[in-house]
């Protein structure tokens, strides 16, 4: 479908299929672009059927709104187009924008080939907004997937997209009350709630966090003008449900070995095996290793959730991670203040290793054994004394 109508039109079709309110319109497919000729009579008949009057003429390239490249603002949109000649000229402008300097530079930065690209054009009834803007169903700055971020301005939303106006900025939590009052806000609390619910519906329908454009008309009706995947979020751990209020805490371990980039599959395998052997020393069941070491976005993380929720180890975790730096220890102390990470009783069958191993870990007495028999994770090539110190301070894999 994208090869025929482009990314923007395909996204608008998905919004319509999901039951969201989208301005009426039609699409001039990529076949016209490939032929190099606008079918003027067909376009003008469709324009007449739409009712004539002001329309928005919007580019919809085949390399647009992709999962890994949004192309936001890289190709042209022409607003308030009225009349047949103006409509045909706006279509030509959208076609030409496929090869604009900014579009070519963006494609080069994304490593996308220009061969085979084509441009469709969407023509929609123009909405004259009282307020408009963009909405992210996950926070694009912090990566928090339980927050909705909205930037809005009075009138047309081009000031938000182009960054030419100061916006009213809202960050809405996934749970709890919405803001009740904004001295200078152009959106009411009811509209913020409506937007948030609309965004969550679209996110469920399209299968992931969305970057959406919206407008409220003079009657207070909400219109969705576009939606595409947010392409800048760090991936979630495997099997994570962001809607479930059961967060976890992960510590990235690559920096301990000076690994600043993703780890190869072979590297992950080696690190897993070394960690497996280290954990066996303190009595950890092999099955725990796969839960303890998690690959996220090609990087290796330790899942510390079991430690911070352990009745025996909860208060000791900052000391355990102190060897990884004072900032890590401060971060863990901050986490311990969150009631969602309070100690929990372990259900039968969940203990990763024996009570004796838990006690040794909590008391820090497993270091001597680790120093005699092997190094902990991230200690390859260091002197035995350094290995003992890291084993003493590093997090023993205790879930009980």
Look up the CATH number of the domain holding residue 198.
3.30.470.20
Decide: 6 and 61 in contact? Cβ < 8 Å: yes
Give CA separation, 245 vs 174, 207, 345, in Å. 10, 19, 18
Residue 376: per-residue pLDDT? 45
The verdict on 364 and 266 lying in the same domain is yes
The verdict on 309 and 369 lying in the same domain is yes
The verdict on 108 and 181 lying in the same domain is no
φ/ψ region of 337 (left if φ > 0, alpha if ψ in -120 to 50, else beta) reads alpha
Examine the fold and report which residue of 126, 155, 184 is the final residue of a domain before the chain moves on: 126
Domain with 348, as residue range(s), is 250-393
Residue 285: per-residue pLDDT? 67
Mean pLDDT of the chain: 79
Examine the fold and report which residue of 202, 233, 264 is the final residue of a domain before the chain moves on: 233
Residue 48: per-residue pLDDT? 96
The verdict on 112 and 152 lying in the same domain is no
The verdict on 82 and 9 lying in the same domain is yes
**Environment class of 324 (CB within 10 Å of its CB; exposed 0-12, middle 13-18, buried 19+):** buried
Residue 169: per-residue pLDDT? 92
The verdict on 214 and 318 lying in the same domain is no
Residue 106: per-residue pLDDT? 66
What is the distance between the alpha carbons of residues 171 and 152, in angstroms, rounded to a whole number?
A: 12
Complete edge-to-edge strand list for the sheet that includes strand 55-61: 25-28, 119-125, 55-61, 77-81
**Environment class of 197 (CB within 10 Å of its CB; exposed 0-12, middle 13-18, buried 19+):** exposed
Judge whether 242 lies within some domain: no
Judge whether 399 lies within some domain: no
Residue 183: per-residue pLDDT? 52
pTM: 0.72
Find where tokens 């998905």 sit.
14
Residue 114: per-residue pLDDT? 62
Residue 292: per-residue pLDDT? 79
The verdict on 254 and 222 lying in the same domain is no
Distance of CA 350 to the CA centre of its chain: 31
Question: Hey, what are 123's tokens?
Answer: 């023509």
Considering its fold, how many domains does the chain have in total? 3
Q: Which of 40, 25, 129 has the alpha carbon at shortest distance from 87?
A: 40
The verdict on 122 and 201 lying in the same domain is no
The verdict on 309 and 215 lying in the same domain is no
**What is the per-residue pLDDT across 320-369, written as a single tens digit (0 to 9) for each?**
888 888 888 898 899 899 888 888 876 655 554 444 444 444 444 334 33
Which stretches of the chain score pLDDT less than 70?
Answer: 63-74, 103, 106-115, 175-184, 242-243, 256-257, 282-289, 346-400
Residue 215: per-residue pLDDT? 96
Instruction: HSE, CB side, 13 Å, CA atoms: give it for residue 241.
Output: 5
């Amino acid at each position: 479908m994208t090869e025929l109508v482009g990314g923007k039109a395909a996204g608008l079709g998905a919004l319509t299929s999901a039951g969201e309110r989208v301005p009426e319109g039609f699409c001039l497919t990529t076949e016209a672009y490939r032929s190099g000729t606008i079918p003027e009579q067909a376009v003008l008949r469709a324009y007449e059927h739409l009712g004539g009057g002001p329309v928005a003429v919007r580019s919809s390239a085949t390399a647009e709104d992709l999962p890994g490249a949004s192309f936001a603002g890289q190709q042209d949109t022409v607003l308030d187009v009225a009349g047949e000649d103006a409509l045909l000229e706006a279509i030509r402008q959208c076609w030409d924008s496929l090869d604009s300097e900014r579009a070519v530079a963006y494609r080069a930065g994304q490593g996308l080939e220009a061969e085979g690209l084509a441009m469709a054009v969407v023509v929609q009834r123009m909405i004259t907004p009282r307020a408009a803007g963009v909405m992210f169903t996950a926070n694009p700055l912090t990566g928090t997937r339980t927050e909705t971020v909205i930037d809005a301005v009075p009138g047309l939303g081009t000031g938000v997209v182009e960054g030419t106006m100061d916006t009213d900025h809202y960050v809405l939590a996934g749970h709890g009350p919405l803001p009740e009052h904004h001295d200078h806000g152009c959106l009411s609390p009811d509209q913020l709630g409506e937007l948030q619910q609309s965004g969550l519906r679209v996110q469920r329908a399209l299968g992931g966090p969305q970057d959406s454009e919206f407008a409220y008309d003079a009657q207070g009706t909400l219109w969705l003008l576009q939606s595409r995947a947010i392409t800048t979020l760090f991936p979630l751990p495997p099997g994570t449900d962001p809607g479930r209020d059961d967060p976890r805490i992960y510590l990235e371990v690559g920096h301990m070995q000076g690994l600043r980039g993703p780890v190869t599959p072979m590297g992950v395998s080696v690190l897993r095996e070394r960690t497996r052997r280290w954990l066996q020393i303190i009595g950890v069941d092999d099955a725990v290793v796969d839960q303890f070491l998690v690959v996220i976005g090609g990087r290796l993380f330790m899942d510390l959730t079991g430690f911070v929720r352990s009745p025996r180890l909860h208060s000791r975790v900052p000391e355990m991670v102190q060897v990884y730096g004072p900032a890590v220890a401060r971060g863990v102390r901050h986490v311990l203040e969150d009631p969602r990470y309070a100690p929990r009783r372990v259900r039968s069958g969940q203990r990763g290793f024996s009570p004796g191993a838990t006690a040794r870990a909590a008391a820090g007495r497993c270091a001597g054994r680790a120093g005699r028999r092997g190094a902990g994770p991230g200690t390859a090539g260091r002197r035995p004394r350094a290995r003992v110190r890291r084993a003493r301070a590093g997090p023993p894999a205790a879930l009980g």
